[in-house]
Amino acid sequence: MSRIGKNSVAIPSGVEISVAADHVEVKGKNGTLRHHILPDVTVKTEDGEVVVTPNSNSKQARALWGTTRANIQTMVTGVTEGFKRELEIQGVGYRAQMQGKTLKLQLGYSHDVEFPVPEGITIECPSQTEVIVSGTDKQRVGQVASNIRGWRPPEPYKGKGIRYKDEYVLRKEGKKK
């Protein structure tokens, strides 16, 4: 039995949740998010809360019970507070800056890497070595941050590259003489 699925999702003030047969739509001050519901679970709004229940006792329905509840909770958090991932750039000559709707990265390649900012995502560069990716959809924020990090992941010998703010890079010892 899902322990997470048993909990209901509280609807904070300023958030509207509409449940249809095949999707849930959450509207808040930061935007609107929509999630597809599979037929194995039922979603209802009761007394200012969203309740998710499985339609059967199958393994698939029990798995989707907690997952659907967690996705709805994440959507509510996204439209009220939003999500952000902070990236750090380390290395001599490595830097980032915003130019309109494009993130321009200088990462030691012979050319600059230009990363177009997707819709619904905001990218800020408070300094040349910091990049903040924010938005309402947790999955998209994480994916965009991962795509940016993928241009130059941190290497283990000098630690140069793009890393998450809270990431620890395991350092290796260099060649011995």
Among residues 45, 80, 115, the one where a domain terminates is 80
State the pLDDT at residue 2. 65
DSSP letter at 147 equals H
What's the pLDDT tens digit per position in 119-166? Answer: 999 999 999 999 999 999 999 999 999 999 999 999 999 999 999 999
Over the chain (177 residues), the average pLDDT of each successive run of 10 is: 83 92 92 93 91 91 92 95 96 94 95 94 95 96 96 94 94 88
Q: How far apart are the first and last CA of the chain?
A: 59
Tell whether 88 and 157 lie within a shared domain. yes
Q: How far apart are CA 2 and CA 67, in angstroms?
A: 9
Q: Domain tally for the chain?
A: 2
Tell whether 76 and 115 lie within a shared domain. no
State the pLDDT at residue 21. 86
CATH number at residue 97: 3.90.930.12
Q: Which residue has the tokens 């194995």?
A: 40
| Cβ–Cβ < 8 Å for 41, 61 | yes
* Ramachandran region, residue 122 (left: φ > 0; alpha: ψ -120 to 50; beta: rest): beta
Tell whether 76 and 109 lie within a shared domain. no
Q: Is 39 inside any structural domain? A: yes
Tell whether 91 and 135 lie within a shared domain. yes
Among residues 53, 80, 107, the one where a domain terminates is 80
